[in-house]
Amino acid sequence: MSVETVIEQCRADGLAISADGGQLVVTGAPQTVDTWRPVLKDHKNELLAYLASDRAQLFAARVMVFQQHGLPQHAAEPIARRLAIRDAQQHERRICLECANLYGSVKAWRCGNRSKATIAGPALPADLVDLLHRCRGFSLSPHLT
């Protein structure tokens, strides 16, 4: 299980994980903490390294940007995790949700650079915004730099 997956699943179960020096700090319902304790113990060093890294900040920034576009947290986190995998594999493909030219919301997505992106009309298909693809009109959102 990846570090991002552990954190995401813990959050889904109502736990908050942070680092304080070399200690892993887990808050939430005591029974839930006890349930997760073996997994957290097995991944402690990886979790501490992740929480201290830029990857954790980028993950949180992506979730925030996706939520600003109207996605709920339970939808934003798996997309951010998928992008973390993409980053580790060094793929050049992007999703529209990362792009500074995306505007609108889940009800009506629009591309502000559609001519360069070779999109026929102003509307974007809903399934395109989180699909990894190559786009000539892509410009990274300033919130993700």
Q: How is 104-131 classified by DSSP, letter by letter?
A: EETTEEEETTHHHHT-SSSB--TTTTTS
What is the mean predicted confidence (pLDDT) over 78-85?
Answer: 91
pLDDT in tens, 53-69: 888 889 889 999 999 99
Given pLDDT bands bounded at 50, 70 and 90, which one contains residue 27? Answer: very high
pLDDT higher than 80, residue 122: no
pLDDT higher than 80, residue 24: yes
Given pLDDT bands bounded at 50, 70 and 90, which one contains residue 138? Answer: very high
Instruction: Confirm if 6 and 81 have CB atoms less than 8 A apart.
Output: no
Q: What percent of the chain has pLDDT over 70?
A: 100
What pLDDT was estimated at residue 34?
Answer: 96
What pLDDT was estimated at residue 145?
Answer: 75
pTM for this prediction: 0.70
Q: 10 Å Cβ neighbour count for 97? A: 22
Which residue from 85, 86, 124, 107 is spatially nearest to 137, judged by alpha carbons? 124
pLDDT higher than 90, residue 29: yes
* Strand 16-20 relative to strand 23-27, pairing: antiparallel
The CA distances from residue 103 to 11, 21, 37, 118, in Å, are: 28, 39, 41, 17
State how far the Cα of 44 lies from the Cα of 63, in Å rounded to an integer: 23
Residues 6+ apart with CB under 8 A from 121: 114
Residue 101 backbone phi and psi in degrees, to 5: -85, -5
